């Protein structure tokens, strides 16, 4: 089943919808590429995406993420290990957390996950990167784009009150194409007021900020 076969709404809102169960997970299960901008990314979020993204297991799915430059210390350390060619140690172990991270490492090693960092470079940007774009694409080349939430929080205990506006290539092609172009320009570092670079380049050049406080502040 492709994206076009999903019964999608034009808007999802926390007071009436379960945005994760009714929108994110069905789209992830029926796409082969997911492009996403978030202001804050955690290992837990990336691991959850990898579980919900069914097509990862077939080796043909792709996840491209652009995130801000603020990380929890533990997350930053794990991301560095995941994306570093120098780190070859396995995460395998008895803990469920280790098995999820090991799955992530396998997916990253196959080149199915790419992570880039967006850092504001202008005084016109007062704080951090918080672009709100997401695009799903299936193997029929249909797309579902959305705006309205700046981070994925799949935990039922920590979700924000939020709303998501949804656009589909079969009902709103022009707007979907515009969102796709916005993301592609960002991915290729062609967007004003932010510099976008590969995660490991940012890490190796000390461009990332990390603190346990980001979780409570964001």
What does the pLDDT read at residue 218? Answer: 44
Average of per-residue pLDDT values in the chain? 84
What does the pLDDT read at residue 85? Answer: 72
Confidence of residue 189 (pLDDT cuts 50, 70, 90): very high
pLDDT above 70 covers a percentage of the chain that reads 82
Looking up tokens 């978030």 gives 38
Calpha distance 136→4 (Å, rounded) = 11
Residue 183 CB contacts under 8 Å (≥ 6 apart), including other chains: 35, 37, 66, 133, 135
pLDDT digits (tens, 9 = 90+) for 16-68: 888 888 999 899 999 999 999 988 888 888 888 887 777 777 777 899 999 99
DSSP line for 126-153: -S------EEEE-TT--EEEEES-SS--
C-alpha 106, offset from chain centre: 17
What does the pLDDT read at residue 62? Answer: 93
What does the pLDDT read at residue 118? Answer: 94
Q: What is the DSSP letter of 202?
A: H
Give the count of alpha carbons within 13 A of 171, CB side only: 12
DSSP line for 41-99: --HHHHHHHHHH-GGGGGT--EEEEEE-SEE-HHHHHHHHHHH-TT------SSSHHHH
pLDDT above 90 covers a percentage of the chain that reads 45
Mean pLDDT, residues 65-90 taken together = 85
Q: What is Dmax (Cα atoms) for the chain? A: 49
Strands 209-210 and 70-71: parallel
Confidence of residue 187 (pLDDT cuts 50, 70, 90): very high
What's the chain's length in residues? 218
pTM, 2 dp = 0.87
Confidence of residue 121 (pLDDT cuts 50, 70, 90): confident
C-alpha 176, offset from chain centre: 18
Residue 154 has pLDDT above 70, yes or no: no
Residue 159 has pLDDT above 60, yes or no: no
CATH architecture classification, 3-217: 2-Layer Sandwich (3.30)
């Amino acid at each position: 089943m492709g994206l076009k076969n999903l019964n999608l709404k034009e808007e999802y809102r926390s007071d009436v919808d379960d945005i994760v169960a009714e929108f994110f997970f069905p789209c992830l299960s029926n796409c082969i590429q997911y492009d996403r901008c978030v202001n804050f990314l955690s290992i837990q979020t990336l691991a959850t995406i990898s579980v919900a993204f069914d097509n990862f297991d077939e080796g043909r799915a792709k996840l491209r993420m652009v995130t801000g430059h603020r990380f929890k210390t533990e997350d930053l350390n794990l991301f560095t290990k995941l994306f570093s060619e120098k780190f070859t140690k396995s995460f395998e172990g008895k803990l469920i957390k280790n098995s999820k991270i090991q799955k992530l490492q396998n997916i990253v090693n196959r080149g199915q996950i790419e992570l880039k960092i967006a850092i504001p470079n202008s005084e016109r940007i007062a704080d951090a990167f918080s672009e709100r774009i997401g695009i799903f694409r299936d193997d029929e080349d249909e797309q579902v784009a959305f705006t309205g939430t700046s981070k994925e929080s799949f935990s039922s205990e920590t979700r924000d009150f939020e709303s998501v506006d949804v656009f589909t290539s079969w009902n709103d092609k022009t707007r979907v194409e515009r969102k796709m172009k916005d993301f592609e320009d960002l991915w290729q570092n062609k967007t004003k007021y932010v510099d976008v670079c590969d995660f490991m380049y940012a890490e190796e050049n000390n461009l990332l900020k990390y603190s346990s406080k980001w979780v409570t502040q964001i």
